[in-house]
Structure 1
């Protein structure tokens, strides 16, 4: 049975990326050594960093004056590196979910934090509108996609102060005006690579303005000066990143990824909206194209567990929703095929059709049993 990986992260990668990485782990470029054992400072690995950097700049149209870094620690480490490097007195944060809250918590260790808006009272079911950012802030921080709650900012924000974006779960899924940002960061394990590397794109002239002493490893200038080689970088995840970037370029770049993202999301959201068993969890205008969250309507809650078991038995992997939301979450990152989304939609459609039978609820409970998967069809 074919399986479709809807995990929120670590998540799906293009098959050719996995296969090519596996080959290099066995023998890197025919040198007789594994990618896992070569020196990161060797003449064999430097071209990997160079090509990956060039592709990122090309695919995102990164302007001159920006550096591309490959760092460790995940996006969570960036929550403190951002204020360490940019917060002089006061910073503004848009609170749209768990990761925003974590970033805010770290920033408060370094200075005053202004929460320009929040949807916490509504369990982050929408992205706040009509808020203003104080002009005396050192920067405004946004999280462009909220993996847990399923909301997304699909357009770059216009801000009166330097803009910083956590794009961990939607980077390379749409065109981005990098020039609007002083810093963009992204944990790679959703749209770019396996877990273990973090992408940072930082405006060089924005650095060096804070008076505090920054620990060497937490200073972006350290890594710019050494070309991401100050300490041993995560070699295999960076190589996987390179393979993904090659795949992205060959597949049509971010414009094509944007088109595919809309196609996948339109298919699944359309069925959720017409299906009496399910409902989406967030405001329609703020729905994420990357993380599609939905739950059973209250009158059908008892079908939630058997539906999950049935869908899993049919090859749908990782669709259980986060505990903060419940229900289901289909993460449709760049590598997810339309075929995979159609397979999930078909299961949801069959559920609706079964409920339309005279004994629909009983039929569903029987049909969802993992050992009677043929019944529903």
Structure 2
């Protein structure tokens, strides 16, 4: 490989490649948030109207079926997933797919905190579990797209049409970038800090009619924290869904500035062509990195199989023998130096791999990122690698 130390002539115009919170939409400005309901109660008529607007725009852009409910909940995507698991799991056997760090977190919460015996179908980073083992008579918890592994499920064919259990899908890095098969999913969660570049702290929870039926027919054995309660007790036992949560009311106080920012991102998504264009942009971004990896011997995708490779949280690993021959700690140090140099030069911010994942880089390719910035980035990736590997040789 030809070595050079010359810095590339052009930097990405927007070097924000963080996997969350992600890059703001192109053309974003604080002035776009002038309609934010500030200094007012979120329960005011105006506050509820903005929250309802966010819900309605979510349905339109994400193409959520009319009979599914959408609510804004606390705690980002994590809070939404926890609400789903604490409220619904227990009456049937449980299976969990664990192929990245957050899926592993859901395993811990189900088996250690809720103490529900569960079957865990796991796989190393970069791979998927054996999806043929998913049972139709069990509840299922899984991430559609592994943010920390760069792996996604290719479709929902592994979920039976006549399933008996409910399906809880953590879709936070898939929503707005990959086609979600709604008829196969009962509780879908995401945070707008991902594919729409929103601010952190808020989650979105989407319920199918089957999810509503489970919530109203099943009362968990454990105490339910207020933040997780989606039903109200009714006379004679059982519960009734708190429908106001899905009409603009919230369980706790949201940031109306963040809500306005979310509305701004949804407006942008609609203006550029909606869900299809959002997915096309993410695919085009992945294609830029794919073309570069194909001709670059020192790097490879963590997800070797194209069919399961994420088009949002793209994870890369160093495969040069001068690095792979190092011990694990030294490889991690190399990756840290690589990301640090990219940040120092203003070429890529927050591009380090997730702390629990194999050492490497993670580059967000969702729709709020422009392909032109990824094209400008790849020469910097080569330059940074050559610089750090040269320092390694000289040490």
TM over 0.5: yes
Report the counterpart of residue 328 of structure 1 in structure 2: 361
Report the 3-state secondary structure (helix = DSSP H, G, I; strand = E; otherwise coil) of the residue aligned with 1:191: coil
Report Cα offsets for 1:189-209 as digits up to 9, x if no partner.
112321011011112333222
Relative to structure 2, which stretch is displaced further, 324-333 or 225-234?
225-234
Q: Closer, same or farther in 2 for the Cα pair 1:94/1:329, shift >3 Å? A: same
Which residue matches 1:257? 278
Choose from 213, 224, 228 the match for 2:243: 224
Q: Distance in 2 between matches of 1:307 and 1:92?
A: 38
Partner of 1:99: 102
> Which one of 198, 211, 214 corresponds to residue 219 of structure 2?
211
1:87–1:111 CA contact under 8 A, matched in 2: no
1:5 aligns to 2:37 (yes or no): no
Contact conserved, 1:194 with 1:240, CA < 8 A, in 2? yes
Equivalent residue of 1:45, what SS?
Answer: helix
2:177 to 169, 173, 179: 173
Q: Give matches, 1:133-172, under 5 Å.
A: 133-137=134-138, 139-157=139-157, 158-159=159-160, 160=163, 161-172=165-176
Give the Cα–Cα distance (whole angstroms) in 1 for the partners of residues 263 and 51 of structure 2: 8
Quote the offset at 1:100 in angstroms: 0.8
Distance 1:255 1:214, change over 3 A: same
Higher relative contact order (CA 8 A, sep 6+): 2
Give aligned pairs, total.
345
Q: Would you say 1:110 and 2:114 are equivalent positions? A: yes
CA separation of 1:49 and 1:154: change in aligned 2, threshold 3 A: farther
Q: Distance in 2 between matches of 1:307 and 1:184?
A: 35
Match for 1:84 among 71, 82, 86? Answer: 86
1:340 aligns with 2:362: no
Mapped to 2, the partners of 1:304 and 1:96 lie a distance apart of: 21
Structure 2 residues not aligned, in runs of 5+ = 1-10, 233-241, 324-330
The answer as to whether partners of 2:74 and 2:251 remain within 8 angstroms in 1 is no
Mapped partners of 1:105, 1:199: distance in 2? 22
In structure 2, distance between residues paired with 1:340 and 1:114: 43
Cα separation, partners in 2 of 1:168 and 1:20, compared to 1, 3 Å: farther
8 Å CA contact 1:70–1:238 kept in 2: the answer is no
Structure 1 contact 292–329 (Cα < 8 Å) conserved: yes
Residues 209, 328 of structure 1: alpha-carbon distance in 2 compared, 3 angstrom cutoff: same
1:198 paired with 2:203, answer yes
Structure-1 separation of matches of 2:114 and 2:389: 54
Q: Distance in 2 between matches of 1:104 and 1:115?
A: 9
Could you list the runs of 5+ residues in structure 1 that have no partner in the other structure?
29-33, 353-360, 367-377
Task: Give me the whole-angstrom Cα distance separating, in 2, the residues matched to 1:130 and 1:174.
Answer: 19
- State the match for 1:371 in structure 2: none
RMSD over aligned Cα atoms = 2.7
CA contact (8 A) 1:60 1:178 kept: no
CA distance in 2: counterparts of 1:7 and 1:279, whole angstroms: 19
1:358 matched residue in structure 2? none
**What's the CA shift for 1:306?**
5.9
> What displacement does 1:217 show?
2.9
Deviation at 1:87, TM superposition (A): 1.2
Give 3-state SS (helix, strand or coil) of 1:244's partner: helix
Paired residues for 1:292-331 under 5 Å? 292-301=314-323, 307-312=338-343, 313-323=345-355, 324-331=357-364
